[in-house]
Chains A and B, each alone.
Chain A
Amino acid sequence: DTAVSQTPKYLVTQMGNDKSIKCEQNLGHDTMYWYKQDSKKFLKIMFSYNNKELIINETVPNRFSPKSPDKAHLNLHINSLELGDSAVYFCASSLGGTNTGELFFGEGSRLTVL
């Protein structure tokens, strides 16, 4: 069983479209994250949820909206896609809470906006 799974793995779409990426973890972790990795491999946190509650919301355009229906799922919806949104998006989870957490990452979802 994959610990952190995200779908789709590849997504190619046109500017202006709306798309979603789904993430699920079966590790029983309390905290989930979305990270964006650009073409230079720089990894930037976007959001973090702890038990379905938003705890980190970095400076991300309002077009990005996370949704956590339960603590095992954290989906990312993107409205009005722009060229600059092209990147690999990684979902991750951790036990969270204390400073001893370690992250488990999904395999990434490569988004290409044309």
Chain B
Amino acid sequence: GNSVTQMEGPVTLSEEAFLTINCTYTATGYPSLFWYVQYPGEGLQLLLKATKADDKGSNKGFEATYRKETTSFHLEKGSVQVSDSAVYFCALINNNDMRFGAGTRLTVKP
């Protein structure tokens, strides 16, 4: 079956620190991979995506590379801001089946 595993939180960083949130997946075939972000009191919104191996998704300074050999899609940002505080979800879609990781809460302190 399809599944996503991401690092447990919470993650607390100081402003301008480097961020990595690990994500690995299990799927048959060739899924598309996503990172979603949920700000407090809101629904999830798409942050970035990659649809095939070695693709790099990027948005708002965040990046993630689709690594088929390690079945990973780790999220990175070089310098986080207080406004990045949110819950981040790794996800995949495969044959119309969408699966999310458990979410990682990030708190960025000034």
Mark A residues whose CB is within 8 Å of B.
4, 31, 33, 35, 40-43, 45, 48, 50, 55-56, 90, 92, 94, 96-97, 99-108
Whole-angstrom distance between the Cβ of A93 and the nearest chain B Cβ: 11
The 9 closest A-B pairs by CB, nearest first: A105-B43, A41-B103, A43-B100, A105-B44, A99-B32, A107-B43, A102-B46, A42-B102, A41-B87
Whole-angstrom distance between the Cβ of B44 and the nearest chain A Cβ: 5
Cα–Cα, bound, A100→B93 (Å): 8
How many pairs, one residue from A and one from B, have CB atoms within 8 Å of each other in the complex? 68
Contact between chains at A94 and B44 (CB < 8 Å)? no
Cα–Cα, bound, A112→B95 (Å): 34
Does B89 count as interface, using CB distance less than 8 angstroms? yes
Q: Which secondary structure dominates chain B's binding surface?
A: strand
Mark B residues whose CB is within 8 Å of A.
29-32, 34, 36, 38, 42-46, 49, 51, 87, 89, 91, 93-100, 102-103, 105
Chain A residues positioned under 8 Å from B49 (CB to CB): 102
Chain A residues positioned under 8 Å from B46 (CB to CB): 102-104
Chain B residues positioned under 8 Å from A43 (CB to CB): 44, 89, 100, 102-103
Given known contacts A99-B94, A105-B44, what 14 new A-B pairs fall within 8 Å (CB)? A41-B103, A41-B105, A42-B102, A42-B103, A43-B44, A48-B97, A50-B96, A55-B96, A90-B43, A92-B43, A99-B51, A99-B95, A100-B32, A102-B46
Across the interface, B99 reaches (CB within 8 A) one of A45, A100, A106, namely: A45
Cα–Cα, bound, A33→B38 (Å): 17
Q: Known interface pairs A41-B87, A106-B43, A107-B43. Does A99 touch B30 (Cβ–Cβ under 8 Å)?
A: yes
Cα–Cα, bound, A31→B89 (Å): 20
Chain B residues positioned under 8 Å from A94 (CB to CB): 93, 98
Contact between chains at B102 and A99 (CB < 8 Å)? no
Chain B residues positioned under 8 Å from A31 (CB to CB): 96
Across the interface, B43 reaches (CB within 8 A) one of A45, A55, A108, namely: A108
